[in-house]
Amino acid sequence: MAFDATLETTSSGIAKITLSGELDGSTAGAFKDKVQEAAAANPKRLVLLMQDLEFMASAGLRVLIFSKQKMGPSVDIYMVGVQELVLDTIKKTGFDQSVYILDEYDADQIENL
């Protein structure tokens, strides 16, 4: 399955990137571009909608780490709907300690924190 990343920013300062397909070395650049575009908007929070992301290689993990660094310590990152295979990789690296992992997106919960 092809990879796709789309960015949506809200008036309340939330940047949402929807990821789908397979995130690997050949597609990580597209994800990184969306992270940089999101960071340029100076969001309060970054939400990664990952329910349709089927696979993530180490290149995807590097972009996740980059996103944490690029956004800075004041921007919380939420990972929503992470599939088990991808979540296992995130937990093995300990990156789950740096983000919030949610089963589903709740705009009221995220936007009103």
* Helical segments of the chain, H only: 28-40, 58-71, 84-93, 107-111
pTM of the entire structure? 0.93
User: Percent of the chain scored above 90 by pLDDT?
Assistant: 87
Over residues 9-56, the pLDDT tens digits come to 998 899 999 999 999 999 999 999 999 999 999 999 999 999 999 999
Q: Are 9 and 72 in contact (CB under 8 A)?
A: no
Domain boundaries along the sequence of the chain: 4-111
Local confidence band at 113 (pLDDT 50, 70, 90 cut-offs): low
CATH number of 4-111: 3.30.750.24
Q: What is the pLDDT of residues 54-93, one digit of tens each?
A: 999 999 999 999 999 999 999 999 999 999 999 998 999 9
Cβ burial 13-34 (10 Å sphere, 16+ → b, else e): ebbbbbbbebbeeebbeebbeb
Dist CA 101 CA 51 (whole Å): 12
